């Protein structure tokens, strides 16, 4: 019996080994199953342009967080989403093979040529987002098409040919945040959408009718345009009241057909008229008395006055949104034809031209001009073509001003950046906003642009400068942000504030790096469909708030910027993989983060272009080459900015500095496969310590000599 326990232990160990072996086989089979599912999906797609040629049997769709298969988004070695947009794909989209992909969270087939009925998405219960806009889908969507999709947050079916009623199951999706059904042929009434978190609801340009549910009264009226038979809040059309019951008795013959018991009004009329022949009773119903005629004339007169009043109010509101250019232009030539200016508007154009000349010099001085509100009303052309200011934040912050307020504000030129001209607009109420004017932002049409701006408006992170509103016109776009009291990180490190930089010690610089890394990780989590969620991460696009915490700007603009302009100017397009293979990757932003880390630690301005010769690395500003050519033991002496190390700096802090240099170098690896994942970099950065806790939290220990005007305005380059 003594050997029994030993035998039991042997059997237990054997069982565990068998279970581990089975688990290993399952894990090994998972990539093969995912590949098989995607290849089945590919088999049903017509791919005339070869967009899916990289989907090859015998290869794995995911390698960690990257994928060699076009349009496949990976996370931890599994397929997270598909982003196959503008690839010329066609056929009928059958999503049944994807049911085995339990980790699938987002699907985007926007702007292709898919046709047929709405794909069956009900079986993909884990989906968070579905983007099918810009295809040729048609027919009615089954009422239960979205039943049971409890995790679904975003649905975009715009610009197709769907007909019939809006599926009732959509109104039952509990977590719905964003629904875009515009530019289809939906009919009938809008269901009640009770979701409290629903922020975007676009059903414009359909054939819907009836009263808009009260749950949607806070939605922008633009989201209901193009449905002539819709009424109620928030549109201006009043719903017709139910027809009142008849006040006169119907003809005897008609009454006999309806029923034997007359309605109460008819009975009351009978008692008034007494015994009247059928012919006289009928005539009395069609010929009003003198008193009733006067009442009808009065009602018609009052109705006419009401219509005139509504027309005047609507015309006034339309004039308020009518506009020409905002403030000073980058060129003295007008971008839109306008009617001859009245004498009152001539000074406005002169001031705008003067400020435009200042803008073209690229200077950052405090040049200002007064932009009169009459500019908005002095231009000719169609008012509908002029656009209007659109707010994108979930809250009402920023809605205290309108486009007219911007036109009246004094516009201070902050600089001519490579992506657009930047102004500070001082509103009459004392509040200031920053307006960035873009000329090279015509990659997508109006609907896709507005969709992307709404997406950016929903982003919220303490280290992101939030977008407040935008102004759309075909020739140019305006993006409006909050005004930030301090200048950029580039100015702090390299600009006129050099003496202030000497006060920025290790804890403060580490705090800056952590804030940037957290914001970048947030962009990657919220915008997984974008190959390059930021695209232009550099020190001049990082502003410093009143506590000198970093605020990222110019993020997520790649989808709307002209491609040639992006390739020439945006730093993510300077990455090694872009130069070598002509395409960016999910790690292009990681490369920019690595360059930024080295810039913060060394205090040297970087160059994003490779040096002509390796020995010219230091002189050319190639921080990666300069660090790589220096032995690790000499980094603190020859690489780290001497102003960052205070006298008597403890050895632990110096060791943390070396660790951060290594993280920056790992993010700058030229080979994409060797470069760190963003998540790995962020986790490693979060583990670093900045020395004494009070140093990291007390800004005055680093910025005590800043005078009132040192950081008086924002500098965006």
Residue 563 has pLDDT above 60, yes or no: yes
**Window from 395-404, 427-436, 469-478, 511-520 with minimum mean pLDDT:** 395-404
Tokens of 393: 């934040």
Q: What is the pLDDT of residue 582?
A: 83
Q: What is the pLDDT of residue 262?
A: 38
Give the phi and the psi of residue 543 in degrees, each rounded to 5. -90, 165
Block residue for tokens 């516009």: 411
How far apart CA 588 and CA 449 sit, in angstroms, is 23
Task: Give the ranges where 402-496 is alpha helix by DSSP (H).
Answer: 403-408, 446-457, 489-494
Q: What sign for the dihedral angle of Cα 129, 133, 137, 143?
A: positive
Residue 395 has pLDDT above 50, yes or no: yes
Q: What is the pLDDT of residue 242?
A: 58
Q: What sign for the dihedral angle of Cα 228, 230, 235, 237?
A: positive
Mean pLDDT across 41-63: 92
Q: What is the pLDDT of residue 610?
A: 65
Tokens of 170: 């959509």
Q: What's the Rg (C-alpha) of the chain?
A: 33
Give domain limits for the chain: 84-231, 346-482, 489-703
User: Mean pLDDT in the chain?
Assistant: 74
How far apart CA 350 and CA 233 sit, in angstroms, is 43
Q: Could you tell me which residue, 510 or 307, shows the higher pLDDT?
A: 510
The pLDDT tens digits of the residues spanning 691-704 come to 654 344 444 334 33
With a CB cutoff of 8 Å and minimum separation 6, the contacts of 692 are 507
Question: CATH class for domain 346-482?
Answer: alpha beta
**Window from 264-273, 588-597, 641-650, 652-661 with minimum mean pLDDT:** 264-273
The pLDDT tens digits of the residues spanning 279-322 come to 333 333 334 444 444 455 555 666 666 666 655 444 444 333 33
Q: What is the pLDDT of residue 388?
A: 74
CATH fold, domain 489-703, is Transferase(Phosphotransferase); domain 1 (1.10.510)
**Window from 377-381, 402-406, 588-592, 611-615 with minimum mean pLDDT:** 377-381
Closest CA to 465 of 398, 534, 551, 547: 551
With a CB cutoff of 8 Å and minimum separation 6, the contacts of 209 are 187, 188, 189, 227, 229, 230
The pLDDT tens digits of the residues spanning 331-340 come to 333 332 333 3
User: For the purposes of burial, counting CB atoms within 10 Å of the CB of 622, is it exposed (0-12), middle (13-18) or buried (19 or more)?
Assistant: buried
Task: Give the ranges where 101-227 is alpha helix by DSSP (H).
Answer: 168-171
**Window from 140-149, 307-316, 563-572 with minimum mean pLDDT:** 307-316
Q: Please, which residues bridge with residue 540 across strands?
A: none
Tokens of 18: 């068998």
Looking at the chain, the number of H-run helices and the number of E-run strands are: 23, 23
| CATH (residue range 84-231) | 3.80.10.10
The pLDDT tens digits of the residues spanning 662-677 come to 999 999 999 999 999 9
Give the phi and the psi of residue 98 in degrees, each rounded to 5. -85, 0
């Amino acid at each position: 019996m003594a050997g029994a326990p030993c035998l039991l232990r042997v059997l237990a160990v054997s069982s565990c080994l068998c279970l581990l072996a089975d688990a290993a086989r399952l894990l090994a089979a998972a990539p093969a199953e995912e590949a098989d599912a995607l290849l089945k999906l590919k088999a049903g797609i017509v791919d005339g342009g070869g967009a899916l040629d990289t989907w090859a049997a015998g290869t794995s769709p995911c390698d960690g967080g990257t994928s060699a298969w076009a349009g496949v988004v990976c996370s931890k070695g599994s397929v997270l989403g598909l982003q196959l947009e503008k690839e010329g794909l066609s056929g009928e989209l059958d999503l049944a093979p994807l049911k085995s992909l339990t980790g699938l969270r987002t699907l985007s087939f926007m702007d292709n040529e898919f046709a047929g009925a709405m794909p069956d998405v009900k079986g993909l219960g884990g989906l968070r987002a579905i983007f099918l806009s810009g295809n040729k889908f048609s027919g009615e969507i089954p009422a239960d098409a979205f039943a049971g999709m409890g995790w679904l947050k975003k649905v975009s079916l715009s610009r197709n040919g769907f007909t019939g009623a809006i599926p009732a199951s959509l109104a039952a999706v509990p977590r719905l945040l964003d629904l875009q059904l515009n530019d289809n042929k939906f009919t009938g009434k809008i269901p009640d959408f009770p979701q409290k978190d629903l922020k975007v609801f676009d059903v414009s340009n359909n054939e819907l009718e009836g009263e808009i549910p009260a749950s949607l009264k806070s939605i922008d009226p633009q989201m209901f345009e193009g449905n002539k038979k819709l009424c109620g809040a928030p549109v201006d059309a009043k719903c017709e009241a139910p027809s009142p019951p008849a006040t006169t008795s119907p003809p005897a013959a008609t009454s006999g057909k309806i029923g034997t018991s007359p309605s109460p009004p008819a009975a009351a009329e009978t008692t008034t008229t007494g015994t009247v022949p059928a012919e006289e009773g009928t005539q009395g119903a069609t010929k009003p008395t003198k008193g009733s005629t006067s009442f009808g004339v009065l009602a018609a007169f009052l109705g006419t006055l009401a219509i005139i009043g509504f027309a005047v109010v609507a015309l006034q509101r339309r004039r308020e949104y009518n506009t020409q250019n905002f403030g000073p232009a980058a060129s003295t030539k007008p971008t839109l034809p306008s009617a001859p200016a009245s004498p009152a508007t001539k000074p406005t154009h002169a001031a705008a031209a003067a400020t435009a000349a200042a803008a073209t010099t690229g200077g950052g001085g405090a040049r200002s001009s007064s932009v009169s509100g009459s500019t908005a009303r002095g231009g000719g052309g169609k008012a509908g073509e002029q656009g209007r200011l659109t707010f994108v934040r979930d809250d009402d912050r920023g809605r205290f001003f309108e486009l007219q307020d911007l036109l009246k504000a004094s516009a201070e030129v902050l600089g001519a950046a490579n992506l657009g001209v930047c102004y500070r607009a001082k509103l009459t109420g004392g509040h200031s906003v920053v307006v960035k004017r873009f000329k090279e932002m015509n990659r997508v049409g109006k609907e896709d642009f507005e969709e992307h701006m709404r997406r950016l408006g929903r982003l919220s992170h303490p280290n992101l400068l939030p977008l407040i509103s935008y102004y759309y016109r075909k020739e140019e776009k305006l993006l409006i942000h909050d005004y930030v009291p301090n200048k950029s990180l580039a100015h702090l490190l390299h600009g006129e504030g050099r003496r202030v930089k000497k006060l920025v010690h290790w804890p403060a610089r580490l705090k800056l790096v952590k804030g940037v890394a957290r914001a970048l990780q947030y962009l990657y989590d919220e915008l997984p469909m974008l190959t390059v969620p930021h695209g232009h991460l550099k020190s001049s696009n990082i502003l410093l708030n009143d506590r000198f915490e970093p605020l990222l700007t110019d993020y997520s603009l790649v989808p709307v910027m002209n491609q040639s302009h992006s390739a020439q100017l945006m730093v993510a397009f300077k990455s090694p993989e872009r130069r070598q293979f002509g395409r960016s990757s999910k790690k292009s932003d990681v490369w920019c983060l690595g360059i930024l880390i080295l810039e913060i630690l060394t205090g040297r301005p970087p160059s994003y272009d490779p040096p002509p010769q390796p020995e010219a690395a230091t002189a050319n500003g190639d921080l990666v080459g300069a660090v790589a050519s220096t032995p690790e033991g000499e980094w603190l002496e020859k690489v780290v900015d001497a102003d960052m190390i205070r006298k008597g700096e403890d050895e632990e802090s110096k060791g943390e500095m070396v660790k951060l240099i290594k993280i920056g170098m790992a993010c700058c690896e030229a080979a994409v496969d060797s470069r760190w994942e963003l998540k790995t970099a962020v986790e490693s950065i979060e583990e670093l310590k900045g020395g004494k806790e009070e140093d990291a939290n007390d800004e005055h220990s680093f910025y005590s000599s800043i005078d009132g005007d040192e950081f008086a305005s924002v500098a965006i380059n």
